[in-house]
Structure 1
Amino acid sequence: MPVKREADADFDADLDAATVRRTSVLTIALLMGVYVIDYIDRVMIAVALPFLGADLDLDKTQQGLVVSAFAIAYMVFQVPGGLLADRFGARPLLVVSLVAWSVFTAATGLVGGLVALLAVRCLFGVAQALFPGASFKALAERTTPRTRNRSAGLMLASNFLGAGLAPLIVAPIIVAIGWRHSFWVVALGGVVLGLLMWRLLPRPLPREATELDAAADPAPAAQAGAARVLRSPLVWRYALLFACFNMLNYGMITWVPSYLLETRGLSLVAAGLSSAVPMLITAASAVVGGWLMSRWFDDRARLLVVPVLAVSAVLLVLMLQAETTLGFTVYQSLAMAFSGLASMGILGMPIRALPRELIGSGMGLVNTGGQMAGVLAPLVMGWLADRFDFAAAFGFLVATTVAAALIALVTSSRPADLQLGAPTAEVSR
């Protein structure tokens, strides 16, 4: 029996441009706010690593394992989270995820050893894994095709905004009250946002406002379902592309603060500031990337993604050769800025291709690939830093950025290439 979910039938009679715009704006504002706190909660572990590692006597490989423990759980539960979003709707998953991960953020400040820390970070990853599929579901249900890439660009930019704000917010808190108490302070913000999400998230728009061809009849012999999404070779290619691309983001977020603190000799606050600047620039470039996608590259994302990733790889090489901290930060900022332009193209491909009814499960699989980067980048770079040096660790990011450009070169964003068949009629939600 179909599950009763958020109803949109009442919208039909009153639907007008103002209703659509108000629904879209409020939805994007809420999702952006939650993604900011999502990334502050996630990135603050990297800012705390030097102090946490010293307090708990962890080497760099073990510190990388702490970050990867979150990423493993986050990756494994992406597809289940997306399936739950398609089954029960966006609102319940968004709120449950936010409140649960805030609880485990607070619990991070209570751990006394590596085993307990790994357990808490795994549970934190499970809780956060419920959010991405639900957020893309909310986006697909509450925005129009014309504005979706711009809206997704804003949502994605809030990830980088959170990653950029985290060092600026968390580093002074750690200096003032210690790394343990900092997790408790940040957790409170997540609980408040969870309550706002429950109260303010609007109902979904009716199907005709959110689909390019909502009236099309389903193909009689090829009904699309979650199982078909998970078997689509193109969706798996999107996942691989996102995995290679996301190595750069996870690698920079995890290891730049430690590199600046230990190799360049900066203070924690100075290292936090230097780490924040590239992420804030990336947030702005992701917004520009979303606008470019909507304006010129909606159905030809490769023309945007491949060149900017190639430029980003060259800038990373120059970053490795920089002799001064300023030079390192400038080249890192430029590399991340070009990466930000590509980010919306990389996520815009599946967002454009997947039908509304299946975007939760489809983006769950894509994000599983993206979070494989969260598993591998901290561990591989930590091992390379221990075995060789930080130059070898950052060199790994050059290779994965080039790989992403090559995969994007042979990846389509055409819905027909998914080979799913037409979507089934949506259950009233």
Structure 2
Amino acid sequence: MFSKGRTSVLLFLFLAGVVNYLDRSALSIAAPFITEDLHLTPTQLGIIFSSFSVGYAIFNFVGGVASDRYGAKLTLFVAMIVWSLFSGAVALAFSFVSMIIIRVLFGMGEGPLSATINKMVNNWFPADKRASAIGLANSGTPLGGAIAGPIVGIIALNYGWKVSFVIIMVIGLVWAIGWWLFIKDKPAEESKHTKATDKLADKAASGEKIPLTFYLKQKTVLFTAFAFFAYNYILFFFLTWFPSYLTDARGLSIKEMSVVTVIPWVLGFVGLALGGIVSDNVYRKVGKALFARKVVLVTCLFLSAVCIGLAGIVSTTVSAVTLVALSVFFLYLTGSIYWAIVQDVVDQNNVGSVGGFMHFLANTAGIIGPTLTGYLVEVTGTYTIAFLLAGGLAVFASLSVIRFVRPIQLNKTDTIKEKVI
């Protein structure tokens, strides 16, 4: 699995995830300072959190199509430069409106990341190792979230919150230079093993081009996207509002909050790295790729839902933090599975585009969730309903996966249909 070329690809994709969530988490960590400087209400802060996902969701799909058409290497290179520059531009924000504009553009830059990771893994890894590779590559994202708290918190307290965004920008630009110089879009020669196992994921007949529009109408794609929506709803709730919840509802100081937020992220890092490995091991034992994906997705998304719901009704800070940490752990165990399902049911020419489309639908949760949470907090004066809503949505999504996510294949007359399992 880990040849020299594959190791380099995984390492750079891992580091891209670290930078991605370091950038993304920085705003939530600095939110108390920004709220004070820009005189924001909870609803306005929620809108700012959501504005990121407006640009992000749209460019999930655009980035996926670009990775199929122009290659994942070029797409991710451009994306990293754009999002790093606009991460630094947060330091220039002087009002509610200016912050919204910057965050939308920042989101556009980050949008292509996950689809390009999926495309690069498809280019470099055989089918029975892709979930593991996706999990390891994406496990950099919660690590970025974990280190964001101490880094941004310490810099903000000592030098001002704006300096932290400039430093993060420089880190991203350095990564982009290394990516362009040292990484290839595809391996020079594909091994026979890779070609053979790719047939497990490629359902299209030899030489036949399957239109993208076909996949975009399939229940398997749409309900995988719905489950991913529920995943992202919990994730964005945690990513955007958890630091404010700790300071507002639990009375923690900025310094204490910066440390506490590390705990769920560390568990998330472990979960994301393990989820794909567990799924691939089940796949190799039972020989049914989609079954292996669904077992992990349904079980862990349901457990995540239960934990996040309970976190909203417990009375102590320790209990709340513990339950949120467990929720993030179980949530991230499913993190690579959505992408692995795309790898399993979509032909290679459409992997980036279909993955980007799924990610686009899923990330509308990032538009709806933070603003809705801000509204609920402002109206009710508590976070309880927001916690319960996040959990209930994930329960419903996990049940939907059992019913609707099925293999897609061509029949003998080249008519595409869904195969019931």
Q: Deviations over 1:253-286 (max 9, x none)?
A: 1111001111211111211221121111011012
Whether the 8 Å CA contact 1:109–1:180 is kept in 2: the answer is: yes
1:121 equivalent among 103, 110, 120: 103
Alpha-carbon offset, residue 143 of structure 1:
1.4
Q: Go from structure 1 to structure 2 and tell me whether the alpha carbon gap of 1:325 and 1:231 turns closer, same or farther (over 3 Å shift).
A: same
Does structure 1 residue 307 correspond to structure 2 residue 307?
no
Whether the 8 Å CA contact 2:120–2:185 is kept in 1: the answer is: no
Moved more, 96-105 or 213-222: 213-222
SS at match of 1:410: helix
Q: CA RMSD in A?
A: 2.4
Q: Deviations over 1:313-347 (max 9, x none)?
A: 22223322322211111111112212222223333
What is the count of residue pairs matched by the alignment?
A: 404
Task: Identify the residue that residue 48 of structure 1 maps to in structure 2.
Answer: 30
1:283 equivalent among 262, 269, 272: 269
Alpha-carbon offset, residue 195 of structure 1:
0.5
Structure 1, unmatched stretches of 5+, are: 1-16, 424-429
Structure 2: distance between partners of 1:250 and 1:323: 23
Moved more, 262-271 or 203-212: 203-212
1:292 equivalent among 278, 288, 293: 278
Whether the 8 Å CA contact 1:48–1:179 is kept in 2: the answer is: yes
1:401 equivalent among 394, 398, 406: 394
Whether the 8 Å CA contact 2:230–2:394 is kept in 1: the answer is: yes
Task: Identify the residue that residue 39 of structure 2 maps to in structure 1.
Answer: 57
Whether the 8 Å CA contact 1:290–1:344 is kept in 2: the answer is: yes
Whether the 8 Å CA contact 1:167–1:276 is kept in 2: the answer is: yes
2:371 equivalent among 372, 375, 379: 379
Q: Deviations over 1:68-124 (max 9, x none)?
A: 111011111221211111111111111111011111011110111111111111111
SS at match of 2:315: coil
Structure 2: distance between partners of 1:323 and 1:416: 50
Structure 2, unmatched stretches of 5+, are: 284-288, 417-421
Whether the 8 Å CA contact 1:240–1:369 is kept in 2: the answer is: yes
Q: Go from structure 1 to structure 2 and tell me whether the alpha carbon gap of 1:53 and 1:223 turns closer, same or farther (over 3 Å shift).
A: same
Whether the 8 Å CA contact 1:69–1:121 is kept in 2: the answer is: yes
Q: Deviations over 1:194-231 (max 9, x none)?
A: 00110111341345554425599964896313333333
Structure 2: distance between partners of 1:209 and 1:221: 20
Task: Note the 1:236-385 alignment, pairs <5 A.
Answer: 236-297=222-283, 298-300=289-291, 301-385=293-377
Task: Identify the residue that residue 233 of structure 1 maps to in structure 2.
Answer: 219
Structure 1: distance between partners of 2:360 and 2:109: 14
Output the amino acid matched with 1:374. G
1:76 equivalent among 58, 71, 83: 58
Q: Quick one: percent identity of the two aligned structures? A: 24
Task: Note the 1:165-184 alignment, pairs <5 A.
Answer: 165-184=147-166
Moved more, 142-151 or 216-225: 216-225
Q: Go from structure 1 to structure 2 and tell me whether the alpha carbon gap of 1:132 and 1:313 turns closer, same or farther (over 3 Å shift).
A: closer
Whether the 8 Å CA contact 1:352–1:415 is kept in 2: the answer is: no
Alpha-carbon offset, residue 127 of structure 1:
1.2
Structure 2: distance between partners of 1:348 and 1:137: 11
Output the amino acid matched with 2:131. N
With normalisation by structure 2, the TM-score equals 0.90
Task: Identify the residue that residue 223 of structure 1 maps to in structure 2.
Answer: 209
Structure 1: distance between partners of 2:226 and 2:309: 23
Task: Identify the residue that residue 105 of structure 1 maps to in structure 2.
Answer: 87
Whether the 8 Å CA contact 1:153–1:286 is kept in 2: the answer is: yes
Q: Go from structure 1 to structure 2 and tell me whether the alpha carbon gap of 1:411 and 1:169 turns closer, same or farther (over 3 Å shift).
A: farther
Whether the 8 Å CA contact 2:271–2:329 is kept in 1: the answer is: yes
Structure 2: distance between partners of 1:236 and 1:321: 32
Q: Go from structure 1 to structure 2 and tell me whether the alpha carbon gap of 1:163 and 1:137 turns closer, same or farther (over 3 Å shift).
A: same
Output the amino acid matched with 2:248. E
Q: Go from structure 1 to structure 2 and tell me whether the alpha carbon gap of 1:132 and 1:235 turns closer, same or farther (over 3 Å shift).
A: same
Structure 2: distance between partners of 1:103 and 1:213: 37
Whether the 8 Å CA contact 1:74–1:126 is kept in 2: the answer is: yes
Q: Go from structure 1 to structure 2 and tell me whether the alpha carbon gap of 1:123 and 1:413 turns closer, same or farther (over 3 Å shift).
A: same
Does structure 1 residue 390 correspond to structure 2 residue 389?
no
SS at match of 1:343: coil
SS at match of 2:323: helix
Q: Deviations over 1:6-39 (max 9, x none)?
A: xxxxxxxxxxx8xx72222111110000111011
Task: Identify the residue that residue 158 of structure 1 maps to in structure 2.
Answer: 140
Structure 2: distance between partners of 1:386 and 1:218: 51
